[in-house]
Amino acid sequence: MSGKRAHTAWWAFLVHRVSGIALALFLPAHFLALGTALAGEEAFDTFLRWSEQPAVVFSEWVLVMLLAAHLAGGLRILALEFLPWRGWQKTLAALAAGFAVFAGLVFALTR
């Protein structure tokens, strides 16, 4: 791959934007889940039993990875905005990716 898309910063930008969009799309599902608590204890318990399915547990792991990637990408952007430019800032993208993977693995292994 050549050009802009071969640059690490472009991939960091893409991951940050995609994770932000995915998190925004998740919000209505989250509000729906919280809304089941308003419907009563039985409805919420039914939802919690449903959430123990392997596909839901896997999607929770993906959600944690997306959240960690978005957080790390946001911190990278803050560093780019407020710190003087240095060559080591390219490594911030790698650190952000490593943080996301680490957070996802911690979540998966403690589940």
- Domains of the chain with CATH codes: 3-110 (1.20.1300.10)
Indicate the pTM of the whole model: 0.69
What pLDDT does residue 8 have?
A: 76
Positions of the chain with pLDDT lower than 70, given as ranges: 1-4, 85, 87, 89
What pLDDT does residue 58 have?
A: 92
What pLDDT does residue 79 have?
A: 80
Q: DSSP string spanning the chain?
A: --GGGGSHHHHHHHHHHHHHHHHHHHHHHHHHHHHHHHT-HHHHHHHHHHTTSHHHHHHHHHHHHHHHHHHHHHHHHHHHHHS---GGGHHHHHHHHHHHHHHHHHHHHH-
